[in-house]
Amino acid sequence: MSEAKNIKFNIYNPIITYEHRAAYDMIVSHLQEIFPICNQGKCKALEVSDDPQKQKQINDLMEKVEFFSNSLITITKVFFDQLYRAKQTSSQSISQSTAMIKIDMIERNLLERTCDVRWWALEKAFWQCITLSNNSKSNGKAKSSTNSNNKALKEAVELACTRLEDIRNSYTLYRDLVIADTNGVIIANSNSDRRSKVIGMNVADEEWFKKALETKDGTEYFVQDVSDSKLEDMDALIYCTALRSNGDEQGDVIGAMGVLFDFQGESQIILNDYLPKDQNDQTLEGWFSFFTNKEGKVICSSDETFISSGEITDLPRNHRNLTKAGEAIVSTGSVCGNRSLIVSHKSKGFDEYKGLEWTSHLVLPESAMFERSDTNENFGISPQELMNSKLIPEKNQQTYREIQRNKGDIQLISINGIILATDLGKAGTSFIPIFDQITTTGNSTTGKMEELLSEMSSDMLEQNLKALENFSKQAVDLIDRNLFERAADVRWWSTDHAFWEALQEGSEENFEQAAKRLGIINASYTMYRDLVIADSNGRIVANSKSENRDKLKRMNVSEQSWFRQGMQISRSVQFGVQDVCDSELENEETSLIYCGGVLEEGQREGKVLGVLGIFFDWENLVFPILEGCLPRIKGEVVEGGAAFYVNDEHKVIATTDSENFKIGQVVKLPSENLNLDAGESASGIFTANEKKYIIGSSKTQGYREYQGLGWTAHVVRPID
């Protein structure tokens, strides 16, 4: 017990609860009472026996009792330190994961945005509109503009606005989308409410516009970090790239496209998630979550009153100056007048996407780390089983064993003392109450310590269950957000002129053009295995991957669910999805297929000509999501930890542990974890493959207008 010197949470630390201080006083005062009893025993030994050997035996026993009592007093001091340290470590680790989840969530979202803008800039309606506008300006200078030219430009601007609106309707994450000519004059926008203000505005002095014109080719983009822009009243996060002649990725720059991401709306959802709420759904006092940019300025906050956007917070300097990607720091300090735990996690980007060097901060009252939960559900696990489980740090288990051993030793001494006293006959009877008292004190003090250890272990269980719930919620949120994007993609792409033209004309040349267009999309977005167009008879007429072309051309998909759903579509905001299954189209590989209706003349509402089907690269994309949601200790995945998704029939559809939780298997889980309502989370304990697991589960609640497919994410870790 050399740790006695390094005690952080001694009993005078204000964080120690009143109940724990009272328990400490009780244990120590009871143990102190043993010493006079032992002295009394030593004196009595001289009184009742002349035999020096008997006297020595009694003296030895009393000294042993004194030794173990002293040892228990030392353990008691260390014990409270360990109790609080264990809760602190566990709580810090969970808070750190939460801060990381938030920054990871926003980064994944921003990665999608970089794909969007590059693809949209190739849209025919936009480059045609800008070309006409540029021509009309040069003609205007030559004073030879005609009415027909003006009419054509007006129509082109109207079409561009319509197409920008279509994008905004498909991808509801944007506040506005604009296209500007090379002089920086806004020619068209998506948000009709702001159209009169925005069209004609000159943005030539804005950084995003200048940088967009500097992009080398269609693969480049620029993002302007959250800052002022004339385009909006609030701070804007703008993704941009150049518009090029004839929509050619290598063409001359003819203008710029800027898309204004609803950063504040999206961040508010993420920041307010994972924060504890009261009965009125208000975040508890002292809990804050916010993002800062690379200058350390707040860019969005869960509580704008106390921590406002645009300001530098009063966080400790080392939290404001994180430099390395993925760096995290945890400390305690004062925030908004509260003694708080502060956790900061700098973005590490996502895959090749480097991110904007933002940092996620989570602040919670220091006392929240040590609070006891009200529920105290034991899930049918005994305190002893819990104490010996993997959830309890080895150091605490050692203390538990030491207490048990001392308790056993005191019991042994007492009984041997009674044996010795009995041997002394009538003279020895006066010893019996002394040893009885020693037994009683030993039992009551060690009993109290066991009670506290049991309290700690149930708190640790509670914290770990909460952490698994958070991970499962992260897993389901990430897949929902990802699939929302797929739903947005398919709706927008279905309106592409190349597709409806091909299905209307029906010529090989048009189909070739459509296939080329599908190929460009697939090259821009890395998450699809293939994209196909089927005509109204279910015959595949074009696809993105040339190597699949011969095989697919002979195929009829009229009986497949995604095709039938697609043929029911009559509005461009609709889409269909075929849940994860083995697809004939992909050599029986597991597929998740989204579909959109290709409507006549690319109109928003009309007759369906055929179906666009996009094949999400399910296995390759879902595995990293699940892997990122596995329970970790100090960055390392907990041994035996697993995460898996189940569909609405409770069948596993993706897993990180194909040995214990197989694809297609219905895992026997507690009913609370199986029968969740949309958006609900639960935790519990179950046994599978002769192992006891703790589990956190969350059912999809969808994301924005995407309803989800009724899936549930489960994250588990073995405890024995």
Partner 1 sequence: MLYSTFYLGDTQMAVPIPCILEIGRSFKFHPVRGAPEVIDGIINLRGKVVTIVNLGLAFEEIKIEPSDESRILIFKNNSELNEVADSDTVMETAPDNIGIHVDRISDVIRVESEELQAVPSNMVHPFYKNVVRRGDSFIIILEPSKILNLHETPDHLS
Closest distance of CB 392 from partner 1, Å: 17
Task: Provide the minimum distance between the beta carbon of 456 and partner 1 in the complex, in angstroms, as a whole number.
Answer: 20
Task: Identify which of residues 5 and 426 has a Cβ nearer to partner 1 in the complex.
Answer: 426
Nearer to partner 1 (CB atom), residue 225 or residue 402: 402
- Residue nearer to partner 1 on the CB measure, 440 or 546: 440
Per-position DSSP letters for 645-685, written without gaps between them: EE-TT-BEEEES-TTTS-TT-B----HHHHSPPTT-EEEEE
H-helix segments, 594-636: 618-628
By beta-carbon proximity to partner 1, the closer residue of 218 and 428 is: 428
- Rounded distance, CA 716 to CA 465, Å? 9
Choice between 407 and 473, CB closer to partner 1: 407
Contact 166, 572 (CB under 8 A): yes
Cβ nearer to partner 1, comparing 412 with 666: 412
Least Cβ distance, residue 423 to partner 1 (angstroms):
5
Residue 414 beta carbon to partner 1: minimum distance, rounded to whole angstroms: 8
- The DSSP symbol for 706 reads B
What SS3 state is found at 333? strand
Q: Using the minimum distance from each CB to partner 1, give the nearer residue, 330 or 418.
A: 418
Name residues contacting partner 1, limited to 310-349 (CB under 8 A): none
Count how many Cα atoms sit within 13 Å of the Cα of residue 168 in the half-sphere of its side chain. 21
| Cβ 403 to partner 1 shortest distance, Å | 12
User: Is the separation of the CB atoms in 705 and 172 below 8 Å?
Assistant: yes
Could you give the residue ranges of the DSSP H alpha helices within 273-393? 317-320, 383-387
Q: Which amino acid is at 354?
A: K
CA distance 639 to 391: 12
Q: How far apart are CA 181 and CA 201, in angstroms?
A: 11
Nearest distance in Å: CB 412, partner 1:
6
Query: Measured from the CB atom, is 283 or 439 closer to partner 1?
Result: 439
Minimum distance from residue 405 beta carbon to partner 1 (Å): 7
3-class state of residue 495 by DSSP: coil
- For residue 404, the minimal CB distance to partner 1 (Å) is 7
Site for partner 1 in 389-448 (CB under 8 A): 401, 404-405, 408, 411-412, 414-416, 418-419, 422-427, 432, 439
Q: Is the sign of the CA dihedral 595, 599, 601, 606 positive or negative?
A: negative
Beta strands in 502-588 (DSSP E): 528-535, 540-543, 576-583
Evaluate whether 175 touches 260 at the Cβ level (below 8 Å): yes
Q: Which residues pair with 582 in a beta bridge?
A: 590
Residue 334: CB atoms within 10 A of its CB come to 13
Closer residue to partner 1 in complex, CB, 422/507 = 422
| Contact track, partner 1, 177-216, x by CB under 8 A | ----------------------------------------
Considering the complex, what minimum distance in angstroms separates the CB of residue 47 from partner 1? 15
**Closest by alpha carbon to 227, among 294, 313, 304?**
294
Binding mask 465-504 for partner 1 (x = CB under 8 A): ----------------------------------------
Minimum Å gap between C-beta 419 and partner 1 is 5
Binding-site residue total for partner 1 (CB under 8 A)?
19
Mapping DSSP to helix (H, G, I), strand (E, B) and coil, where does residue 481 land? helix
Of 405 and 571, CB closest to partner 1: 405
Query: Is the separation of the CB atoms in 184 and 242 below 8 Å?
Result: no
The answer to whether the CB of 453 falls within 8 A of the CB of 108 is no
Residues that bind partner 1 (CB under 8 A): 401, 404-405, 408, 411-412, 414-416, 418-419, 422-427, 432, 439
